[in-house]
Amino acid sequence: MEIRNLIWLRKGDTAEYGGFIGGNPLKIFRNRKSGPFSIVVNEGWCCARNLGSIRLYKLAENHGRLEYKLEKRIMQFKGMTVPSTRMASVFFKVKHDKYSLRSSPEIIDQPSEVFRGEMFIGNIIAEFPKGSRGEAIAEHRDKTGRVWWFVLMDKNATTTINHFYDDKDSYKMGWMSSRYLDITK
């Protein structure tokens, strides 16, 4: 089961409640030496679910009190191939309609399992229309020479196929062939 984290903030000689965060802590860090800590957790894997999320919490003021608030939620599938190194971010726009987001950097298009009443086609976990935006954070070159980007699709991007459930206001992570992605800004 997941850890239930109650956050307490030190204020002089006392402590003040700073919020509840569910999930398994992955990292606690700060961007500046004197700045507040940010917390990253892995959440959603209980009860044999196939879907989880990585969540980033930052300290924010709420009615005069400091509390940890959800800043970013990134959805991920169980068994997803996750890169071990990161590259400098590349922002992009999808050039073709119905462009696939996959759980691994390869094309698998045979029908696979039925999950929650939906048929999965190979390793396709979502499909995005032309114009959808995202951010590539890693890359992999397969044995054919195709370059795959590990991407975070914008939380507001619409989908034509979507096997992510409970994904409102969430980024979706996975692999896309870089072939039909236009680099933006």
- Domain residues of the chain, as ranges? 4-76, 80-183
Over residues 112-166, the pLDDT tens digits come to 665 556 667 788 889 999 999 999 999 999 999 999 999 999 998 989 888 777 7
Query: Residue 163: helix, strand or coil by DSSP?
Result: coil
- DSSP assignment letter at 179: G
Return all residues near 8 (Cβ < 8 A) that are at least 6 apart: 15, 16, 17, 18
Q: Average the pLDDT over each of 11-20, 56-65, 77-86, 160-169 and give the range with the smallest value.
A: 160-169
Q: 38-77 as b/e, with b when 16 or more CB fall inside 10 Å? A: bbbbbbbbeeeebbbbbbebebeeeeeebbbeeebbbbbb
Distance CA 147, CA 143 (A): 10
CB 4 within 8 A of CB 20: yes
What's the rounded mean pLDDT across residues 24-42?
86
- The pLDDT of residue 46: 63
- The pLDDT of residue 118: 62
Query: Has residue 49 got a pLDDT over 70?
Result: no
Residue 132: what residue type? S
Q: Look up the pTM and report it.
A: 0.80
Return all residues near 129 (Cβ < 8 A) that are at least 6 apart: 94, 97, 98, 99, 158, 159, 160
Q: H or E segment at 91?
A: strand 90-94
- The pLDDT of residue 93: 97
